[in-house]
Amino acid sequence: MKDIFDFGKKIDDYAVMGNPISHSKSPSIHTLFAEQTQQSVLYTAIHVDLGGFKQAVGNFVASGGKGLNITVPFKQEAWELVSSRSERAERAGAVNTIKIENDQLFGDNTDGVGLVNDLTINHGIELKNKNILLMGAGGAARGVLVPLLKQNPSSLFIVNRTPDRAKDLALDFFDVGNVQGGGYDAIAELKFDIVINATAASLQGELPPLPDTLLNDNASCYDMMYAAKPTPFMLWATEHNAVKVLDGLGMLVEQAAESFYIWRNIKPETKNVIEKLRAELNT
Ligand code: NDP
């Protein structure tokens, strides 16, 4: 345990674990949250070798660490490792937040609530009674399904390059809301109010094959990826007259805020943090 004191209290250790990890913005975000809320928190990034996740978590717990964020590629392993899980983590099949208490690991998944808070609170986009298209059927898509469906959209269609993955994902969540899945040919005649890109296509500079008629009037488009420049999907959305075209920077900060709340029971303010990160991204 550390013997350092800050804000008059002992400093608690938190970290993000992943591979790669050097690019992670989580230490900056949580340090800003800690300063803002005057919490005595030290947050670091830990690079974990493939195959070394369980050991790394064990070492962190033994050193007195209080909580972890988990990122690619360890979210599923974290799900298996924890002693208990929230409902949203249970359904997501992935854990991005671990709270450590009395050597017990509680696992949660804050990605979905991060997305929903960014859409609804930061950008004023109502999800209730809307038709939503979710592109992608990987970990990010699975992680956001319960919080999205709990907003009671009229429908949610999961579209994926490999159609069976989207169909299987929809079947896994049919009890939570009106959700269907299929390939890109299945959306040729459909129209949506909100389109969310949870594919890795933007990372590769690619655009999924979207029909020109996809968007309703006043549609909003959201790419979970973020970068200094608009992604191919964001450029497509602008060309197709979406009224709101957004990237995933707000989601990143909002999921972090939810993790911070789980650990410290205090909700940090996010607007200034998003603005600061945006400014850094653009320099
Ligand atoms: P996965 O590897 O688990 O899934 C990737 C998905 O993208 C699959 O459905 C895959 O389809 C699809 N895909 C990949 N390439 C293409 C392409 N060229 N065209 C169409 N579809 C494609 O990745 P994740 O789900 O973990 O992550 C997806 C994205 O979400 C990443 O960009 C990541 O950065 C972002 N993300 C952002 C977060 C944030 O806080 N802002 C949080 C979490 C994720 P198939 O099944 O056919 O292979």
Ligand 1 and 224: CB distance under 6 A: yes
111 lines ligand 1 (CB under 6 A): yes
In single-letter form, the type of residue at position 271 comes to K
Atom 38 of ligand 1: nearest residue by CA position: 224
Each residue's pLDDT tens digit, 163-216: 999 999 999 999 999 999 999 999 999 999 999 999 999 989 999 999 999 999
**pLDDT at residue 10 in the model:** 83
Distance CA 234, CA 244 (A): 10
Determine which residue's CA is closest to atom 33 belonging to ligand 1: 225
- Confidence at residue 124, expressed as pLDDT on a 0 to 100 scale: 98
> Which residue reads 């392993």 in tokens?
77
CA 273, 274, 275, 276 torsion-angle sign: positive
Sheet of strand 215-223: strand arrangement: 179-182, 155-159, 131-135, 192-197, 215-223, 244-246
SS3 state of residue 101: strand
277 lines ligand 1 (CB under 6 A): no
Residues of the chain with CATH 3.40.50.10860: 12-109
Q: Give yes or no for residue 112 CB within 6 A of ligand 1.
A: no
In this prediction, residues 127-154 reach a mean pLDDT of 96
130 in contact with ligand 1, CB cutoff 6 A = no
| CATH architecture type of domain 112-249 | 3-Layer(aba) Sandwich (3.40)
- Give the position, in ligand 1's atom list, of the atom nearest the Cα of 140: 25
Quote the ligand 1 centre to 173 CA distance (angstroms): 19
Establish whether the linkage from the previous residue to 20 is cis, with ω within 30° of 0.
Answer: yes
Any ligand 1 atom below 6 A from CB of 101? no
Tokens 């038709």, residue?
Answer: 131
Q: Two tokens at 92? A: 């997501």
Cα–Cα distance, 227 to 48 (Å, whole number): 25
Domain with CATH 3.40.50.720 in the chain: 112-249
* Ligand 1 centroid to residue 133 C-alpha, Å: 15
208 lines ligand 1 (CB under 6 A): yes
Q: Which of 161, 223, 251, 258 gets mutated to test ligand 1 (max ligand atoms within 8 A of its CB)?
A: 161
- For residue 4, pLDDT beyond 90: no
> CA-to-CA distance for 56 and 258, rounded, in angstroms?
23
H-helix segments, 70-162 = 75-81, 87-92, 111-117, 139-149
Give me the pLDDT at residue 106, please: 98
Average per-residue pLDDT for the chain: 95
The pLDDT confidence band at residue 3, using thresholds 50, 70 and 90, is: very low
Instruction: Judge contact between 163 and 186, C-beta under 8 A.
Output: yes
Q: Report residue 1's pLDDT band, with 50, 70 and 90 as the boundaries.
A: very low
The identity of residue 114, as a single letter, is: G
Other C-beta atoms lying within 10 Å of the C-beta of residue 101: 10
pLDDT of residue 282: 86
Token representation of residue 241:
């007259």
Contact 31, 1 (CB under 8 A): no
Q: What is the pLDDT of residues 231-273, one digit of tens each?
A: 999 999 999 999 999 999 999 999 999 999 999 999 999 999 9
Q: Which residue in the list 75, 99, 130, 167 is annotated as catalytic?
A: 75
Q: Are 129 and 154 in contact (CB under 8 A)?
A: yes
Categorize the per-residue pLDDT at 7 as very low, low, confident or very high, splitting at 50, 70 and 90: low
Whether domain 12-109 has CATH 3.40.50.10860: the reply is yes
Phi, psi of 124 (to 5 degrees): 60, 30
From 29, 157, 165, 199, mutation site for ligand 1 pocket: most ligand atoms within 8 A of C-beta: 199
CA distance 138 to 135: 9
The verdict on whether 75 is a catalytic residue reads yes
